[in-house]
Amino acid sequence: MEVYLAILIGCFFTVSIYLLMSKYVIRMLLGVGILGNAVNLLIFTAGRITREVPPIIPEELQIPAELTANPLPQALVLTAIVISFSFFAFLLVLGFRSYQDLKTDDTETMRFAEPVDSPKPPLGY
Amino acid sequence: MAASSSEKIDLTGIMVPADLSPSDFLIVTPVVIPIIFGALLVMLRSKPNWQSPVAITGLILAMLGSFGLLQQVIANGPITMTMGRWLPPFGISFTADLMGALFAFTGLFVALSGLFYSRFASTTLERRYGFYPFYMLMMAGVSGAFLTGDIFNLYVWFEVLLISSFGMIVLGSDRVQMDGTMKYAFLNLIATTMFLAATGYLYGMLGTLNMADIYAKLRSTDLQGPAYTLALMYLLAFGMKAAAFPLNFWLPASYHTPRIVVSAVFAGLLTKVGVYALLRTTVMLFGEQRDALATGIAWIAGLTMLVGVFGALAQTDIRRIFGYLVISGIGTMMAGIAVATQTGIAGTVIYAVHSMIVMTALYLTVGAIGRLCGSTDIREAGGVYAMSPMLAVAFLVLALSVSGLPPTSGFWSKFVLVKATLEIGAWWLAALIMISGLLTSIAVFRIWIFAFWRGGPEGTRDGAEAWTRVNLESGYRLNAGLAIGLLMFASFAIGLAPENLLSISADAARGLLHPTAYTDSVFGGLPQ
């Protein structure tokens, strides 16, 4: 199971990095979305996958009697999902507003903060 | 039924037994107080005049808390508090060692000065859009990152400060800011996602997230190959956060776009959080792996310094010049991480403290220059020396400090770093620190010559005075003067009496390289 998930995670990372290297903001946004999911799957897989053994401790014991599913990665993934979702939402709005204001979603022409023809510094005193 | 069965359970193996004394809660004050006041400020959003006093009160309280924490850590060594009293490594630990407590205190001090500046400079519109809640939550994130002892929790604090910084950098939303925010947001998000991926692998490898536990387990594991990969991933992620070459391009693209206060606290604090995380992971946790990467880190350090100063020399806008100087400072701090002897780490710690204070102060002076001259471009500014002698004095001290000249904090921090590099025979790294210092002084004193000495904008003849008097509002003069003055005196005082900071940073470096006190404080002498 871990092997197949590892291959899937690899595909996710490949796709997201390919999209992030695009010049267009909308593709970069898709890349960010997939990157977040790739990392979530990675944490999920890194916590080892044990099926059908819920982590419930019998009343008379202090620790579980047998190997159970690991609940911690799910807590980590839950946190990471919330965070990556909120960031994605922010970036989506930012991308849309920039498209409205800057009239472009091509990062090559997005040179307002660092103009191409910025002046040379004074050479004498 | 439920109550009676819970009484039978023996808690000694599950919970931290000792009861906490009130002074133990000092460790959470730098985080909890900004969060509470941030929430309060959200509730008070319809009262723009209350925002600033409430925020200042909150940060003063948080700063006092962090000062008490620092005193306690100096007296008793690292302090740990584990949330919910779960036995570490299962609960999330907050562990303040000397470095974390020192950075938290300095960070809150710098942020407080920024708040004084913004008291007059922030407009009602900015207040209504939530400048102050963002500011407080960002400080909660910064302090949390400095104090946490759990690596996943460190990620969460990174995200807290990042999302608040997004809110602050885009505040005003003009076109230049949109563009800057775009680059800042994407690249920082990718960096923190890298950090999260590395943490996922780390958990898969060691099965723990508590830093003290990671430290112990990394030294008993035979998985050395993956450990090198992890060290490299953390170096990549935090190097990007700290704006080290070749991942520095987001910083000069964005730091000159927001409001001056925002630029100032970003330049002072956010990149330093990256440096802190580098110290915590590559030096403390992955010490052995760092030794193997030392040459690479030294190259990164040298190139970051040079890229920073050359970038600064090529700019005309003072804010952009300072953006590049931030990068150059990061390179200097990385030099200490590359050396990683006790002197080297002490140099990085003291340089980080110096850089937090001085970079924030320099950006605030740009705000004042911009108000006096109507422009922050060295071709259009001029006559500041005659307009505001006090500002000229402050800028001169800060310029000496950022170039690393006595009698300021910059001199001592560079002195310790150069000493550390020479001790291990890395003369070329020492030479690079000196050269970058020299070029930095050219870059800042060019601002001095053009904006302060020249009588007016470009083209003004020598001796002629072409500036027009701008009467700044007395409220602005008072608040900006207080903010810049506080920071300038901090830098000056460290320069005149560095013994305290030198000894604290030496102890912090020792605690980082041999973290037995750190791990003992987490596990509290419990049998492992």
HEC string of B131-168? HHHHHHHHHHHHHHHHHECEHHHHHHHHHHHHHHHHHH
- Alpha-carbon span B394 to B323, nearest angstrom: 19
Integer angstrom CA distances of residue A16 from A34, A35, A37? 6, 5, 10
**A43-88 confidence digits (pLDDT tens):** 999 888 877 778 788 877 777 777 888 888 889 999 999 999 999 9
Q: What is the mean pLDDT of residues B368-395?
A: 89
Q: How far apart are CA B527 and CA B521, in angstroms?
A: 13
Q: Do B176 and A112 touch (CB under 8 A)?
A: yes
Instruction: Examine residue B88 and state whether it is found in any structural domain, yes or no.
Output: no
* Contact check, Cβ <8 Å, B176/A113: yes
CB contact under 8 A, A39 and B197: yes
Lowest-pLDDT choice from A96-110, B319-333, B400-414: A96-110
Helix runs in chain A, H state only? 2-20, 25-46, 72-102
- What is the DSSP secondary-structure string of B283-351? IIITHHHHHHHHHHHHHHHHHHHHHHHHHHHT--BHHHHHHHHHHHHHHHHHHHHHH-SHHHHHHHHHH
Query: Which of A28-32, A112-116, B92-96, B442-446 shows the lowest per-residue confidence on average (mean pLDDT)?
Result: A112-116
Residue B355 covered by a domain: yes
What is the nearest CA distance from A17 to chain B, expressed in angstroms?
10
- What single letter denotes the amino acid at residue B102? L
Asked if the bond preceding B89 is cis, omega within 30° of 0, the reply is yes
Residue A105 has pLDDT above 90, yes or no: no
In angstroms, the Cα distances linking B139 to B33, B151, B479 are 10, 19, 20
Residues 294-353 of B with CB under 8 A from A: 313-316
- And the tokens for B251? 């910083």
Note whether A95 contacts B159, CB cutoff 8 Å. no
The C-alpha atoms of residue B272 and residue B269 are separated, in whole angstroms, by: 5
State the Cα angle at B12 between B8 and B13, rounded to 5°.
105
Q: By mean pLDDT, which of B53-57, B122-126, B163-167, B266-270 is the weakest?
A: B122-126
Q: Which of B86, B104, B110, B95 shows the shortest CA–CA distance to B33?
A: B104
Report pLDDT digits (tens) over B267-313. 999 999 999 999 999 999 998 889 999 999 999 999 999 999 999 99
For an interface test with B, which of A13, A26, A39 has the most B Cβ atoms less than 10 Å from its Cβ?
A39
Taking CA atoms, A50 is separated from A45, A67, A69, B481, in Å, by 10, 8, 5, 62
Task: Look at residue B102 and tell me whether its pLDDT is greater than 60.
Answer: yes
The interaxial angle of helices B131-147 and B151-169, nearest 10 deg, is 160
Q: Which of the residues A76, A81, A88 would you substitute to probe the B interface, choosing the one with the greatest number of B C-beta atoms within 10 Å? A: A76
- Using pLDDT thresholds of 50, 70 and 90, give the confidence band for residue B525: low
| A60 in any annotated domain | no
Q: What is the token pair recorded at B28?
A: 């959470």
Closest CB to A46: pick one of B5, B156, B201: B201
pLDDT value of position B25? 86
Q: Most A CBs within 10 Å: which of B193, B256, B462, as the mutation test of the A interface?
A: B193
Mean pLDDT of B135-149: 95
Assess if residue B219 is contained within a domain.
Answer: no
Residue environment code for B337-372, b if the CB has 16+ CB neighbours within 10 A, otherwise e: bbbbbbbbbbbbbbbbbbbbbbbbbbbbbbbbbbbb
* Gap from B227 CA to chain A (nearest CA, Å): 15
Q: Which domain holds residue A82?
A: 2-51+69-102
Q: Is the Cβ pair A101, B189 closer than 8 Å?
A: no
CB B175 within 8 A of CB B76: no
Can you tell me the mean pLDDT for B364-387? 89
A28 touches chain B (CB under 8 A): yes
DSSP3 helix / strand / coil % (chain B, rounded to 5): 75, 5, 20
Give mean pLDDT, residues B416-445: 94
Looking at residue A87, its pLDDT comes to 93
Alpha helices in B149-286 (DSSP H): 151-169, 175-206, 211-218, 224-241, 250-254, 260-265, 271-278
Alpha carbon distance B416, B408 (integer Å): 13
- State how far the Cα of B332 lies from the Cα of B326, in Å rounded to an integer: 10
Task: Report CA A36 to chain centroid distance, whole Å.
Answer: 2
Q: From CA B178, how far away is CA B190, in angstroms rounded?
A: 18
Separation between Cα atoms, residue B199 and residue A43, nearest integer Å: 8
Total number of domains in chain B: 1
Those residues with Cβ within 8 angstroms of residue B282's Cβ, 6 or more apart along the chain or in another chain: B231, B234, B235, B238, B289, B290, B293, B297, B337
Judge whether residue B460 has pLDDT over 60: yes
A35 near A16, Cβ under 8 Å? yes
pLDDT of B241 > 70? The answer is yes
Kindly give, in sequence order, each residue whose CB lies less than 8 Å from that of residue B74, ignoring residues fewer than 6 positions away: B98, B504, B507
Question: What are residue B95's DSSP bridge partners?
Answer: B80
Q: Is B223 on the interface with A (CB under 8 A)?
A: no
Residues of chain A with Cβ-Cβ distance to B248 below 8 Å are none
Instruction: Answer yes or no: is B94 within a domain.
Output: no
DSSP summary character for residue B86? B
Residues of A with Cβ-Cβ distance to B459 under 8 angstroms? none
ipTM: 0.93
% residues pLDDT > 90 (chain B): 69
Q: Phi/psi class of residue B335: alpha, beta or left (left: φ > 0; alpha: ψ in -120 to 50)?
A: alpha
pLDDT in tens, B190-237: 999 999 999 999 999 998 999 999 999 998 888 888 899 999 999 999
Calculate the average pLDDT of chain A. 88
For residue B176 the two structure tokens come to 């230049």
Identify the residue with better confidence: B34 or B382: B34
What 3-state DSSP class applies to B219? coil
Whether this prediction's pTM lies above 0.90 is answered by: yes
Q: Nearest Cβ partner of B196 from A80, A91, A95? A: A80
Domain containing residue B448: 287-515
| Minimal Cβ distance to A113: which of B173, B254, B316 | B254
Give residue B9's pLDDT.
60
Model confidence at B121, pLDDT cuts 50, 70, 90, reads: confident
Whether residue A34 is contained in a domain is answered as yes
The answer, for A41 touching chain B at a CB cutoff of 8 Å, is: no
| Residue of A42, A59, A107 with shortest CB distance to B200 | A42
A30 contact partners, CB below 8 Å, separation of at least 6 = A19
Number of domains composing chain A: 1
- Note whether B200 contacts A36, CB cutoff 8 Å: no
Assigned domain for A109 exists: no
- B186 touches A at CB < 8 Å: yes
pLDDT of residue B324: 95
Asked if residue B215 is part of any domain, the answer here is no
Is residue A110, in this structure, part of any structural domain at all?
Answer: no
Q: Whole-angstrom Cα distance, residue B203 to residue A48?
A: 10
- The encoded tokens of residue B470 equal 């701008």
pLDDT at A56: 81
- Scan for tokens 């920039």, then name that residue: A98
Which of A39, A86, A113 has the CB atom closest to B200's CB atom? Answer: A39
Closest to B394 in 3D by CA, of B355, B366, B354: B366
Q: What is the pLDDT of residues B343-360, one digit of tens each?
A: 999 999 999 999 999 999
For B380, phi then psi, to 5°, come to -105, -20
B3, pLDDT greater than 70: no
Secondary structure (3-state) at B96: strand
Specify whether the CB–CB gap between B460 and B382 falls below 8 A.
Answer: yes
C-alpha pair distances (Å), B468 with each of B203, B368, B407, B447, B457: 63, 15, 34, 19, 11
Considering only CB atoms, which chain B residues are within 8 Å of A46? 200-201, 203-205
pLDDT at residue B527 greater than cutoff 70: no
Mean pLDDT of B359-382: 91
B347: which 2 tokens?
């140099």
CA torsion sign for B509, B511, B514, B515 is negative
A113 lies within 8 A of chain B by CB = yes
Closest-CA distance, A51 to chain B, in angstroms, reads: 17
Q: Is residue B336 included in any domain, yes or no? A: yes
Say if residue B5's pLDDT is above 60. Answer: no
Residue B522 lies in a domain: no
For residue range B6-37, list pLDDT tens digits in order.
455 666 667 776 667 777 788 999 999 999 99
Q: Do A83 and B190 touch (CB under 8 A)?
A: no
Residue B507 domain-assigned (yes or no): yes
- Residue type, position B383, single letter: G
Residue A21 lies in a domain: yes
Residue B212 near residue B89 (C-beta atoms within 8 A): yes
Q: What is the mean pLDDT of residues B499-528?
A: 84
Q: Is the pLDDT of residue B85 over 70?
A: yes
Distance from the B450 Cα atom to the nearest Cα atom in chain A, whole angstroms? 8
pLDDT computed for residue B76 by the predictor:
87
Selection from A7-21, A67-81, B171-185, B455-469 with the highest mean pLDDT: A7-21
In a domain, A98, yes or no: yes
